[in-house]
Structure 1
Amino acid sequence: MSTQLAVAAQAILDHPLFGFGITLGAYQLALALFERTRWVFLQPVLLSMTLVVGVLLLCGIDYAEYRQSVSMLSVFLGPATVALAVPLFLNLKRIRQLLWPILITLGVAGSLATALGIGLGWLLGADHVMQMTLLPKSVTSPIAMLVAEQLGGIAALAAVFVLITGVIGAICGPALLGLIGVRSPAARGLALGLTAHAVGTAQALQESEETGAFAALAMSLMGVASAIGVPLVMLLVL
């Protein structure tokens, strides 16, 4: 009987959709716990990532196997990103009303978010490679990896910094905005999208549709501005 159970368990672990299943299951569990408790340290992305890592270590599955089994998730990444256009369209009138404040916020806050990261790294003695890796920490991973690689940084490590930035922003951002009295959905969305990119946008969508729309807009504009502006600025500076 034990042999049969072992064979069945191994068959489940070797199934090509095992990683896909534990990833979705972990996120749904994390999301349910967060919605029930609203504890900031149960932020869904952080908790689900921890759960998946724990399962992989427990089952002895290496990253290469896991990555292959979740390759199907990348198929949904494009449609999920495009779907952010829906809240943008529904709030298009509001976005037009606030066009200039949005652009000014992007210029000022986006520049500060970029400069503070590299400035803090410089103060702490980080070398040039690490500074270039930290530079695009406030944009979504694909753009951050590309920008970091262009500037001589480490693309894989840039993705880690992006993830850490997003999780911290999603955990601390809403509470901090509430503490300083920011109640406007547009302002909250812009702040979360600019600083915490995709993870912040997911958090903003849980607050309201309008907050999510402005977060998606900020994330998109920040990504485009960083992909074009950061390499040009660094080329002039260096």
Structure 2
Amino acid sequence: MPLLTVSDLKVRYGPVEAVRGVSLNVEEGELVALLGANGAGKSSTLNAIVSLVPAAEGSISFRGKDVTKLPTEMLVRRGITLCPEGRRVFSGLTVAENLRLGSYGRADTSTLSDSYDQVFELFPILKEREHQFAGTLSGGQQQMLAIARALMIDPKLLLLDEPSLGLAPQIVESIFELIAKLRAQGITILLVEQNVAMSLDIIDRGYLVAGGAVVASGTAEELKSSNIVEEAYLGAH
């Protein structure tokens, strides 16, 4: 049984249908990506999974149970967490305070100290700047903090929305290395990315989204060997 199953999901903003019948699944321990150009409907799919926008049609199940209409806070308690596009750290709070807020709603607090140890091991720079205001960090450091904050919930499923967006190339490389490391540690990840080339180097499987619909899916190697990725980016669909 997949950890996450999305079936015929549709999302509408007024008369605009941003997501048009997306179906996907994520197995436990996998790193799966939603790939596609800006405006393809990828982020709307993630936001619907965590109930930040309502699903107009379709269903979402997590660990075999329907969670389509559950509020976001209940999904967090079940172990789904989102690292949003644009980082959205609390700039007027310290690194430590951002992390503490990330643990809010955590179902099991007995291992909270282990999560602090984990994120500081993954991000030594955050340990060094634990008492620094988040707004004074560089863009790359803020992205690290956003991912670390999402990990504080001890997620069963981590959703990453455009983690490389707006970062310098060398920082992008380090972010992708980090994502690969998280996957190696057994964290299940659903990644949304415009950077297809780098994503295909680290993912297990991918879904190519164009015009709000899945136009192709397969393993990283299958997608690499197909010309459909290029066609989707050029608007052939």
TM-score (norm 2): 0.28
Larger radius of gyration: 1
Structure with the bigger percentage of strand: 2
Instruction: Select the structure with the greater relative contact order (CA < 8 A; seq sep ≥ 6).
Output: 2
Structure with the bigger percentage of helix: 1
TM-score (norm 1): 0.28
